């Protein structure tokens, strides 16, 4: 019984740790990318950022890329087999797609990917931190869902987005105008994370450029050394040819002289033969 009690305590401790981690994740994602978290949810946002590597890399993706993030194997398999490509990846776990009919999930995944790309770019590159674009994007999504699914599903989706926005505002104590009061620390943390990511990416780019320049210099040195070796070989060959020609020169002259003497003798003999024939 004592061991059972210990195991039960460990299970309870794991549950509380899981709840603490989940709360930390929600707060962190809301601070880093509030607009994207309000549209597709905190957990899906965290998974997308984790899969991309950073918020900046996710912001550089197109809407179609965000739509199929997490389904790369299925995409390449479909391209190899010439089969239909996947319509969604990690974004499938958003509440919006869970509430829609199977026939309309692909269309709504496309719309949600485009809106997620807009929100990610605003969160990554905008100066004003906070929920600035989520409400406008929510109205557009609500209109699209109303066209495909009807009013009931559109209302439910809009209510979930509004709930995320209110949760963010309660956490950061922000008014609808975007004025920060007690949430300045969270905004500063988000700005610091973005700045750190930009610095890391810049350092990585600089290191890559340095490596490329070193490789180019090494290649140029190799090419120069190879060119020098080729020139040396050509000079050696030309010298060898000149020496061979110089050694063969007297032999050629002697042969030429012999040929001339033979030709002269043959001419003389021909003349003698002609004279003898005439005398006869």
What is the 3-state secondary structure of the chain? CHHHHHHHHHHHHHHHHHHHHHHHHHHHHHHHCHHHHHHHCHHHHHHHHHHHCCHHHHHHCCHHHHHCCCCHHHHHHHHHHCCCCCCCCHHHHCHHHHCCCHHHHHHHHHHHHHHHHHHHHHHHHCCCCCCCCHHHHHHHHHHHHHHHCCHHHHHHHHHHHHHHHHHHHHHHCECCCCCECCCHHHHHHHHHHHHHHHHHHHHHHHHHHHHHHHHHHHHHHHHHHHHHHHHHHHHHHHHHHHHHHHHHHHHHHHHHHHHHHHHHHHHHHHHHHHHHHHHC
Cβ atoms 39, 141 nearer than 8 A: yes
Q: What is the pLDDT of residue 245?
A: 56
CA torsion angle 145 147 150 156 (round to 10)? 20
Residue 156 maps to a domain: yes
Residue 140 maps to a domain: yes
Percent of the chain whose pLDDT exceeds 70: 78
Q: What is the pLDDT of residue 177?
A: 44
Residue 195 maps to a domain: no
Cβ atoms 123, 137 nearer than 8 A: no
Residue 84 maps to a domain: yes
Residue 233 maps to a domain: no
**What CATH number has the domain bearing residue 93?**
1.10.246.90
Cβ atoms 25, 171 nearer than 8 A: no
Give 256's pLDDT tier (boundaries 50, 70, 90): confident
Query: What are the pLDDT digits (tens) for 87-146?
Result: 888 988 888 888 888 888 888 889 889 989 999 999 888 877 778 888 888 888 888 888
User: Which range among 161-170, 207-216, 239-248 shows the weakest confidence by mean pLDDT?
Assistant: 239-248
Greatest mean pLDDT range, 183-187, 192-196, 234-238, 246-250? 234-238
Q: What is the pLDDT of residue 184?
A: 45
Q: What is the pLDDT of residue 223?
A: 67
**Across all residues in the chain, what is the average pLDDT?**
78
Has residue 227 got a pLDDT over 80? no
Residue 280 maps to a domain: no
Q: What is the pLDDT of residue 193?
A: 53
Q: Which domain holds residue 50?
A: 2-182
Q: What is the pLDDT of residue 243?
A: 62
The number of domains in the chain is 1
Residue 25 maps to a domain: yes
End-to-end CA distance of the chain: 152
Q: What is the pLDDT of residue 198?
A: 58
Residue 24 maps to a domain: yes
Query: What are the pLDDT digits (tens) for 170-225?
Result: 777 643 444 433 344 444 454 555 455 555 566 667 777 777 777 777 666 666 66
Q: What is the pLDDT of residue 186?
A: 46
- What pTM value is reported for the model? 0.57
């Amino acid at each position: 019984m004592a061991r059972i009690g210990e195991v039960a305590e460990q299970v309870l401790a794991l549950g509380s740790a899981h709840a603490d981690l989940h709360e930390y994740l929600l707060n962190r994602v809301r601070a880093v990318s509030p607009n994207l978290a309000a549209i597709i949810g905190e957990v899906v946002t965290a998974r997308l950022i984790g899969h991309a590597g950073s918020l900046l890399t996710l912001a550089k993706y197109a809407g179609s890329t965000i739509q199929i993030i997490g389904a790369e194997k299925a995409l390449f398999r479909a391209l190899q087999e010439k089969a239909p490509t996947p319509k969604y990846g990690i974004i499938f776990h958003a509440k919006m797609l869970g509430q829609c009919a199977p026939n309309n999930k692909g269309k709504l995944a496309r719309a949600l990917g485009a809106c997620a790309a807009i929100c990610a770019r605003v969160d990554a590159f905008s100066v004003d931190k906070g929920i600035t674009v989520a409400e406008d994007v929510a109205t557009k999504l609500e209109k699209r869902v109303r066209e495909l699914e009807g009013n009931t599903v559109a209302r439910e989706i809009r209510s979930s987005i509004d709930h995320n926005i209110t949760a963010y505002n309660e956490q950061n104590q922000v008014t609808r105008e975007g004025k920060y009061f007690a949430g300045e620390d969270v905004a500063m943390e988000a700005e610091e994370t973005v700045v750190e990511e930009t610095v890391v990416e810049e350092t990585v780019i600089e290191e890559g450029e340095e490596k490329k320049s070193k490789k180019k210099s090494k290649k140029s040195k190799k090419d120069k050394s190879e060119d020098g070796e080729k020139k040396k070989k050509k000079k050696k060959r030309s010298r060898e040819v000149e020496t061979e020609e110089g050694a063969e020169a007297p032999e050629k002259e002697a042969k030429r002289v012999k040929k001339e003497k033979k030709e002269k003798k043959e001419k003389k003999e021909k003349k003698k033969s002609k004279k003898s024939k005439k005398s006869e």
